[in-house]
Amino acid sequence: MLEAPVFGIMGSILGNALFLPQIVKTVKSKSTRDLSTWTYIQIIFNGILWTGFGVQSGQPIIYISNLVSVVLAIAVVGMKKVYK
């Protein structure tokens, strides 16, 4: 049986990998017209809150994975500004 941290690491990798297809498609097409800025802003704030929780509770799996999510979501929002 896998231990809890393994599930956390696997979930973190999978959760953050969800951003990659959108980032790749956006870079290739240079279009963000169909992306909701509001959704990504919510993802950023959610990630910031979870990062804070992870730091306060001393759980690196939580704060590292959510910090990566914040960075990826900021990248998407940044691309919305670049590829209007």
Q: What is the predicted pLDDT for the residue at 1?
A: 64
pTM of the model: 0.86
Considering the domain boundaries, does residue 82 fall inside one?
Answer: yes
Smallest CA-to-CA distance from 10 within 80, 61, 53 is with: 61
The shares of helix, strand and coil residues in the chain, as percent rounded to the nearest 5, are 80, 0, 20
Considering the domain boundaries, does residue 59 fall inside one?
Answer: yes
Task: Note down the domain range covering 73.
Answer: 36-84
Considering the domain boundaries, does residue 69 fall inside one?
Answer: yes
pLDDT tens-digit map of 3-40:
778 888 898 999 999 999 999 999 999 999 889 999 99
Considering the domain boundaries, does residue 67 fall inside one?
Answer: yes
Q: What is the total count of domains within the chain?
A: 1
Residue 19 carries which DSSP code? T
Q: What is the predicted pLDDT for the residue at 3?
A: 74
Is 38 in contact with 31 (CB distance < 8 Å)? no
pLDDT tens-digit map of 57-76:
999 999 999 999 999 999 99
Considering the domain boundaries, does residue 64 fall inside one?
Answer: yes
Considering the domain boundaries, does residue 24 fall inside one?
Answer: no
Considering the domain boundaries, does residue 77 fall inside one?
Answer: yes
Is 10 in contact with 62 (CB distance < 8 Å)? no
